[in-house]
Amino acid sequence: MELTEDQVYTEKTFTIKNKLGLHARAASQFVQVANNFDADIFVTRNEQEVNGKSIMGILILAAAKGTQITVRAAGSDADGAVAALGELIDQGFGED
């Protein structure tokens, strides 16, 4: 992934906190937030990386409570994207 001068790359690891993990509703919320940003967003669990703007990709991760995932983004609004997604994860997707 090549970045231009005005693009930023950032990544951060988060722990899934909600009881049901990244199930369909939580994955849908994640993708909705991700799609508010122009940055390219990817999520990694173990060695598996998926597009953070794809609900199927997020569901494939099968991230249960306690699972660590890494969210990385590249683009002019990458910092904001990772921060917003991290807040969603840290708040347990509003479930707990």
Would you please indicate which residues are annotated as catalytic (active-site) residues? 23
Q: In what order do the strands lie in the sheet with 8-15?
A: 8-15, 68-75, 40-45, 48-51
Asked whether the CA dihedral 11, 49, 66, 95 is positive or negative, the reply is positive
Tokens of 81: 């994207």
